């Protein structure tokens, strides 16, 4: 594209103190601001953009250091709002350089004549909500003021460079450059001794080129990062073909993906692959030169589980050792302190190989921290380096820096945003803040932003905000503000999401750890781009849930509440199940439902390897019953847990809870024997109860043969299996044994009434429905028998039962009867612990490796079982046996 088209035709920063009155003021003319202006104009809002820089571009205006490029393939890191733009502009490289991206943004500005509403060279210094006028009053460094109905900060997540925080910078007599503020005219480093401080993405991109230019380059590294080769070149033909084959579908896939790049959701987990298969996948990822690919496509557990992550990390470390010739330098460059992807990995061209050059030295600041910058160079704890130039590639006060730099932003009742955010950013959806009406952030903290292809996230935010403003206007409202309840709910959901991924395990700018004194916490939304989009859509569908809208003459609408109360992965699972539009089990007939379940279970992730899994036959109350035995990898004998599967006394079998049994076997270091008790309607009440009791007695009597420890057995069960476990404890107490050391009841059925609040609140939308439970009861038990304690243990005698651990889930129809049983046992003197699992549904804990947020609960359940067996609660998990051939 011709340079001339990008020539700055900036409207001048107004040097006048006159107040400009507009509908909307936008701060920032980067990717976000430009698209905002385009959309706001189209929607009929008068708009001005205030921009500190001398032209459009944002990130790509400021970051002109050698080697600056995008690290998301450029065909993906592009606007999608203008289909003609997509054919009018052709990217020359897979990862375009900064000048090319800047030209592109200039081209977009020209194409839509955007510059005429942008005031360049104008820095916003403060913003105040005028409660009476219901307008924001914006002050700028030029003295020009703006009065606007809506104030939108499109100020960028990575636009406020971080100060160097090193003593003596002012004393340095040579030249100092910041990668984030690189001079427009370029820098001549020929013959110079150059120091670079920082090895994040900016440093890693710049270092190979600085090394080619400088006489001597010394790199000061505090934390080594993972870097992957970009393998830059022309845009890959197959990706271009996919895009050009069906642009709309390609872009849509990106919008609903996890990171904003159209790769499918990976479902295979690491232990389902052999070593050779994992290596093959990794090598393909390494060769692809694509961060989004390697972060999402190798195996599903790499971003959520340390075991799965370690495999990728080790393979990258192996590559580093293979490239860097000096072993000491290779060791210093090898990241060991954080999981791969927890900190933003880098995409490089010749980064590691650069350390093989004779003019490049790495200084490991972990071994010799910088003491000070002096007039002539840099002094560490061990030595001094004389240099002519220092390049700070030290990063940004990310996500909140540019927003807080406008100070004060004063909202309702004189509240300052800096005070509200003193302990970390609070927001609703990362787009608005309670107490700050008509104030919006594009890709603010609390949204996926920097954990995604930002072009996609920016477009989603801009579309959502502009559509809300238009809808507000159409409905006759003038203000829009997040409620405190919605914001608190979002904080909870953010925290829940953050336990899912590994980002919390790294000190990084994602968490604020790079800025001394900054409040710590994972700032971007870690739940994924597609899920986030659906949440934003849900807010609208639910009548602007969590927003207070107001207008003239006291008009007000406030549908208050929390947009996500489910755990994030539970929400995804329920969403997928809803999309499958499955017929209700109760319409399939018992055999049809069993066949369906068997097929359905084939699609779930395999259970994790344990020491041994075997099949056998035991004696039930009226004949032989199959069982499945899960033995730990450690030497026995082990305590035995007799396990009863779920399935409403109708469905399932001894292996239908296989992933749960394996997981609990590993976590408890105990034998699990899963019993194939008889089912209704072929065998109605009390068949399942009597089988449960008989099986427990048989297992206790044959403990030694099974490799079990002498002494009491434990019982456990889920759902109807929890019912059988509870009943078994009552029968064992009343029939003289066997001795039971403790009971784990997971979402148990305990009573035959259906009017508790959880049946009412959760009866329809959480997979196990009221209708299904009615069907199960009808098939298993006639109304006359239902109050028998062998099916309604809540109605039995509860004193003298073994200690119990009862888990109930918030969004389960069976929640309240489980709680009632726990409370009633406790009232009868039984030692009871309860886990009331917030945001979970009936299947949360048995969907091992699908509902990752269930891990914490399973740890607690395993600890309880160990205590019941007289063992210390913690068990060191055996190292993951990684070969898929393992049992
Ligand atoms: P910015 O581009 O940061 O624009 C914000 C603008 O606001 C700036 O021009 C700034 O001057 C202006 N501003 C801020 N405060 C004020 C104020 N008080 N008054 C007036 N003006 C103000 N993301 C990706 O998804 N893929 C990539 O490959 C990628 N590569 C990157 C490479 C680098 C070197 C950096 C630093 C970031 C990269 N990012 C990447 C993130 C990048 O920031 C976003 O992709 C995107 O460019 C952000 O656009 P934006 O408009 O939101 O913010
Ligand atoms: P960064 O990732 O925060 O890296 C800053 C580096 O400086 C880190 O190595 C940091 O060490 C070091 N550092 C900071 N303060 C220091 C100090 N006082 N003393 C010594 N070392 C210090 O910043 P960045 O490299 O500018 O990248 C920021 C983000 O921008 C990236 O993660 C990415 O999202 C985006 N970006 C993308 C690209 C791209 O490839 N497209 C390029 C550049 C930037 P510690 O790790 O120990 O803090």
Nearest atom (ligand 1) to Cα of 179: 34
| Phi, psi of 75, rounded to the nearest 5 degrees | -65, -25
Going by their DSSP bridges, the two strands 389-392 and 439-441 should be labelled as unpaired
Q: State whether the beta carbon of 166 lies less than 6 angstroms from ligand 2.
A: yes
> Cα(709) to centroid of ligand 2, in Å?
55
Q: Where are the beta strands (DSSP E) in 67-173?
A: 118-119, 124-130, 135-140, 145-153
CB 276, CB 883: distance < 8 Å: no
Q: State whether the beta carbon of 201 lies less than 6 angstroms from ligand 2.
A: yes
**pLDDT tens, 238-271?**
999 999 999 999 999 999 999 999 999 888 889 8
- Give the closest ligand to the alpha carbon of residue 223: 2
> Cα(220) to centroid of ligand 1, in Å?
26
Q: Report how far Cα 445 is from the mean position of its chain's Cα atoms.
A: 14
Q: State whether the beta carbon of 71 lies less than 6 angstroms from ligand 2.
A: yes
Instruction: Compute the distance between CA of residue 737 and CA of residue 729 in angstroms, rounded to an integer.
Output: 9
Ligand 1, atom 6, lies closest to the CA of: 28
CB 523, CB 531: distance < 8 Å: no
Instruction: Please tell me the predicted confidence (pLDDT) of residue 878.
Output: 54
Residues of the chain with pLDDT under 50: 1-15, 879-887
Ligand 1 cavity residues, CB under 6 Å:
27-33, 50-53, 58-59, 61, 63, 68, 70-72, 77, 123-124, 154-159, 202, 402, 405-406, 442-443, 453-454, 458
> Cα(395) to centroid of ligand 2, in Å?
4
> Cα(75) to centroid of ligand 2, in Å?
25
- Give the closest ligand to the alpha carbon of residue 347: 2
> Cα(387) to centroid of ligand 1, in Å?
31
Ligand 1, atom 29, lies closest to the CA of: 70
Going by their DSSP bridges, the two strands 124-130 and 439-441 should be labelled as unpaired
Instruction: Please tell me the predicted confidence (pLDDT) of residue 849.
Output: 83
Strand partners, 127: 138, 409
> Cα(503) to centroid of ligand 1, in Å?
22
Going by their DSSP bridges, the two strands 671-675 and 640-644 should be labelled as parallel
Note the residue count of the chain. 887
What residues have CB less than 8 Å from 766, skipping those under 6 apart?
574, 811, 812, 813, 841, 842
> Cα(758) to centroid of ligand 1, in Å?
47
> Cα(673) to centroid of ligand 1, in Å?
57
Q: Which two tokens stand for residue 323?
A: 């490239």
> Cα(417) to centroid of ligand 1, in Å?
21
Instruction: Please tell me the predicted confidence (pLDDT) of residue 6.
Output: 28
- Give the closest ligand to the alpha carbon of residue 514: 2
Q: Alpha helix (H) ranges present in 736-792?
A: 757-761, 770-780
What residues have CB less than 8 Å from 47, skipping those under 6 apart?
22, 23, 24, 25, 26, 36, 37, 40, 41, 117
Ligand 1, atom 2, lies closest to the CA of: 58
Q: State whether the beta carbon of 223 lies less than 6 angstroms from ligand 2.
A: yes
Q: Which two tokens stand for residue 138?
A: 């914006």
Of 708, 715, 785, 790, the C-alpha closest to 750 is 790
Ligand 1, from 14, 57, 58, 345: best to mutate by most atoms within 8 Å of Cβ?
A: 58
């Amino acid at each position: 594209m011709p340079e001339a088209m990008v020539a700055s035709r900036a409207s001048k920063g107004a040097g006048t103190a006159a107040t400009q009155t507009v509908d909307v003021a936008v701060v920032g003319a980067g990717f976000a601001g430009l698209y905002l202006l385009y959309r706001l104009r189209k929607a009929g809002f008068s708009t001005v953009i205030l921009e500190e820089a001398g032209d459009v571009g944002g990130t790509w205006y400021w970051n002109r250091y050698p080697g600056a490029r995008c690290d998301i393939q450029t065909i993906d890191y592009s606007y999608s709002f203008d289909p003609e733009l997509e054919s009018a502009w052709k990217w020359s490289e897979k990862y375009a350089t900064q000048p090319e991206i800047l030209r592109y943004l200039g081209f977009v500005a020209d194409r839509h004549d955007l510059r005429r509403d942008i005031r360049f060279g104008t820095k916003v210094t403060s913003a105040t909500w005028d409660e009476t006028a219901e307008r924001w009053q914006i002050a700028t460094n030029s003295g020009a003021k703006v009065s606007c109905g809506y104030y939108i900060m499109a100020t960028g997540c990575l636009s406020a460079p971080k100060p160097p925080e090193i003593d003596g910078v002012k004393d340095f007599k040579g030249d100092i450059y910041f990668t984030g503020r690189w001079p427009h005219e370029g820098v001549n480093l020929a013959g110079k001794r150059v120091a670079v401080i920082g090895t994040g993405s900016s440093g890693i991109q710049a270092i190979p080129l600085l090394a080619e230019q400088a006489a001597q380059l010394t790199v000061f590294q505090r934390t080594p990062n993972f870097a992957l080769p970009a393998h830059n070149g022309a845009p890959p033909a197959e990706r271009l073909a996919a895009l050009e084959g069906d642009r709309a579908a390609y872009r849509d896939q990106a919008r609903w993906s996890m990171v904003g790049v159209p790769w499918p959701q990976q479902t295979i987990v690491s232990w389902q692959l052999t070593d050779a298969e994992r290596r093959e996948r990794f090598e393909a990822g390494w060769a692809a030169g694509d961060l989004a690919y390697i972060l999402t496509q190798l195996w599903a557990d790499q971003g959520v589980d340390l075991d799965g992550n370690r495999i990728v990390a080790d393979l990258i470390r192996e590559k580093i050792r293979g490239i860097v010739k000096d072993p000491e330098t290779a060791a210093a460059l090898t990241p060991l302190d954080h999981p791969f992807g927890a900190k933003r990995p880098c995409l490089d061209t010749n980064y590691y190989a650069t350390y093989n050059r004779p003019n490049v030295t790495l200084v490991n600041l972990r071994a010799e921290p910088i003491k000070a910058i002096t007039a002539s160079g840099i002094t560490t704890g061990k030595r001094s380096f004389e240099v002519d130039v220092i390049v700070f590639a030290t990063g940004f006060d990310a996500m909140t820096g540019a927003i807080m730099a406008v100070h004060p932003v004063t909202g309702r009742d004189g509240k300052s945003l800096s005070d509200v955010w003193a302990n970390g950013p609070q927001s609703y959806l990362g787009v608005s803040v309670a107490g700050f009406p008509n104030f919006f952030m594009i890709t603010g903290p609390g949204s996926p932003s920097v954990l995604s292809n930002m072009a996609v996230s920016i477009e989603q935010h801009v579309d959502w905000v502009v559509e809300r403003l238009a809808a507000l206007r159409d409905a006759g409202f003038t203000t829009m503000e997040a409620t405190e309840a919605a914001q608190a709910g979002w904080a909870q959901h953010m925290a829940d999401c953050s336990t899912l991924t590994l980002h919390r395990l790294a000190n990084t700018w994602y968490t604020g750890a790079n800025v001394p004194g900054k409040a710590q916490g994972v700032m971007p939304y870690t739940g994924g781009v597609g899920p986030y989009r659906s949440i934003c859509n849900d807010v609208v569908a639910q009548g602007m849930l969590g927003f207070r809208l107001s207008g003239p003459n006291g008009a007000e609408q406030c549908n208050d509440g929390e947009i996500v109360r489910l755990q994030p992965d539970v929400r995804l699972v329920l969403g997928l199940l809803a999309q499958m539009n499955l017929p209700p089990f109760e319409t399939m007939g018992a055999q049809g439902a069993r066949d369906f379940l068997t097929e359905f279970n084939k699609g779930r992730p395999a259970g994790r390897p344990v020491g041994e899994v075997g099949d056998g036959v035991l004696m039930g109350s009226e004949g032989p019953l199959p069982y499945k035995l899960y033995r730990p990898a450690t030497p026995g004998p082990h305590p035995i847990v007799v396990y009863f599967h779920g399935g409403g006394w109708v469905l399932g079998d001894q292996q239908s809870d296989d992933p749960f049994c394996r997981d609990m076997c590993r976590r408890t270091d105990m034998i699990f024997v899963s019993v194939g008790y008889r089912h209704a309607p072929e065998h109605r009440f009390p068949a399942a109860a009597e089988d449960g009791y008989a099986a427990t007695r048989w297992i206790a009597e044959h403990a030694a043969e099974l490799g079990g420890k002498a002494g009491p057995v434990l019982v456990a069960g889920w759902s109807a299996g929890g019912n059988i476990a509870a009943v078994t404890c009552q029968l064992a107490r009343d029939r003289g044994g066997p001795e039971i050391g403790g009971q784990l009841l997971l979402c148990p059925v305990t009573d035959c009434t259906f009017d508790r609040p959880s049946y009412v609140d959760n009866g329809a939308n959480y997979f196990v429905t009221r209708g299904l439970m009615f069907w199960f009861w009808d098939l298993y038990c006639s109304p006359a028998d239902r109050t028998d304690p062998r099916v309604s243990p809540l109605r039995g005698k509860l004193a003298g039962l073994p200690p119990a651990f009862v888990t109930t889930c918030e969004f389960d129809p069976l929640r309240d009867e489980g709680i009632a049983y726990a409370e009633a046992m406790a009232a009868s003197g039984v030692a009871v612990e309860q886990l009331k699992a917030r945001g979970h549904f009936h299947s949360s804990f048995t969907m091992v490796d699908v509902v990752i947020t269930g891990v914490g609960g399973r740890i607690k359940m395993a600890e309880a079982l160990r205590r019941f067996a007289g063992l210390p609660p913690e068990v060191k998990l055996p190292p993951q046996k990684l070969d898929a051939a393992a049992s």
